[in-house]
């Protein structure tokens, strides 16, 4: 499971903004919403006749594989870098 998400925004004036977000406290705060999301995914899987266990397992694999991911977005003089550790 990822431990830290780092977001860096380079503004047009050249000064960067850095934000470090620890994942565990965010997961704990949003866990009631996550439970509702899992129930919603399970209902959608049943409606579309997809294996619920396989869908949730695939989602967990994606979350587990996310450490080390970098996303760079650049538009004009503004840039956003997201790093998952």
Q: Which of 47, 70, 50, 48 is nearest to 59 (CA)?
A: 50
21 lies in which domain range?
Answer: 4-84
pLDDT number for residue 11: 87
5-14 tens-digit pLDDT: 999 999 888 8
Structure tokens at 16: 């960067």
Averaged over 68-74, what is the pLDDT? 93
pLDDT number for residue 15: 86
Query: How far is CA 25 from each of CA 21, 22, 29, 46, rounded to the nearest angstrom?
Result: 9, 6, 6, 31
Whether the predicted pLDDT of 1 surpasses 90 = no
23-56 tens-digit pLDDT: 999 999 999 999 999 999 999 999 999 999 999 9
Task: Give the pLDDT band of residue 60 (cuts 50, 70, 90).
Answer: very high
């Amino acid at each position: 499971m990822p431990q830290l998400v780092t977001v860096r925004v380079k503004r047009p004036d050249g000064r960067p903004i850095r934000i470090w977000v620890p994942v565990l406290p965010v997961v704990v705060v949003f866990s009631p919403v996550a439970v509702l999301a899992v129930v919603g995914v399970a209902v959608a899987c049943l409606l579309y006749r997809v294996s619920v266990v396989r869908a949730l397992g695939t989602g967990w694999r994606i979350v587990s594989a996310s450490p080390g991911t970098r996303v760079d977005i650049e538009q004009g003089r503004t840039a956003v870098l997201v790093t998952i550790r």
